[in-house]
Chains A and B, each alone.
Chain A
């Protein structure tokens, strides 16, 4: 049986990277939000955010729509059904790992070390 720490290394890196986890978590709490909001949420540069969004779009987790609001261009991002399922599953796994790590016996931890 694997330890919680071994299980942690098998987490899906696409949603687990910190900036992408923040993006997906925020998107799971709304219908959609624009690029500016995601930038103020993650505090990363436009280029970095674009890269992360591209990866999430290629992974089928988010949908990106470019449109005009009056004369101002706006990039709107929302979760796909697969994205919603992925982030819920990922949060579930993190929660399980947290519980398992807390319950992991100290003796075994010392042995591991």
Chain B
């Protein structure tokens, strides 16, 4: 019965679980973190508006790669038309509204707990908890985001926090992407393997 519940969970969230589509999005953030720490000074156009252009270009390339990876999943595991439910868009709407509200709150950025980071941690925690902890890797990232949110009161400088934030987003995309892919891989058998039996 547990296996069938897992099949149900994976089928319901098949598109979300195509984790390798998320991994390329982590690269621009990891490079941004390296740039902020001063490790990329030998790379051309890393001053003035250069870094912004680099970042936009890398995000666009990551999105293009992500779209191409969808074809890989369709060929390897097939295609699913998700059921139309109100639950997912409603949860996304509530999360976005809370995040926008938290960003607009007046606060002392230097010394207080980061409320937007707490909201992100809650969102990740929620995703990690639903479905019988099948996506426990979300909880690991949520915990890291909570630790990051609490850095302000400990007097960690803003620049260091900016470096850590980019690093956390980059690592988050990679960990969540690989974790989701492994969940899919543990549940579904690539068709090429089945046909080779």
A residues contacting B by CB (< 8 A) are 21-22, 25-41, 43-46, 74, 76, 94, 98
CA distance A113 to B22 in the complex (A): 55
Task: Knowing A39-B191, A44-B194, say if A25 contacts B7 (CB, 8 Å).
Answer: yes
- Among residues of A, the one whose C-beta sits closest to the C-beta of B75 is A36
Task: Knowing A22-B4, A41-B7, A45-B197, say if A30 contacts B80 (CB, 8 Å).
Answer: yes
Beyond A30-B11, A33-B79, A34-B80, 18 extra complex contacts between A and B, CB < 8 Å = A26-B7, A29-B7, A29-B12, A31-B82, A34-B79, A36-B74, A36-B75, A36-B78, A36-B191, A37-B80, A40-B77, A40-B194, A41-B7, A43-B194, A45-B194, A45-B195, A45-B197, A98-B1
Residues from chain A with Cβ under 8 Å of B78 in the complex: 33-40
Task: Knowing A31-B82, A43-B189, A94-B1, say if A22 contacts B7 (CB, 8 Å).
Answer: yes
CA distance A21 to B5 in the complex (A): 11
B8-A28 in contact (CB<8A): yes
- Among residues of B, the one whose C-beta sits closest to the C-beta of A44 is B194
Smallest CB–CB gap between A92 and chain B, Å?
Answer: 13
B188 on the A face (CB < 8 A): yes
B132 on the A face (CB < 8 A): no
CA distance A43 to B75 in the complex (A): 15
Main secondary structure of the interface of A (DSSP, over half): helix
Contact with A along B155-197 (1 / 0, CB 8 A): 0000000000000000000000000000000011111001101
B76 on the A face (CB < 8 A): yes
Top 5 closest pairs, chain A to chain B, by CB:
A37-B78, A36-B78, A29-B11, A31-B81, A43-B189
Residues from chain A with Cβ under 8 Å of B1 in the complex: 94, 98
CA distance A34 to B80 in the complex (A): 7
Smallest CB–CB gap between A73 and chain B, Å?
Answer: 13
A21-B4 in contact (CB<8A): yes
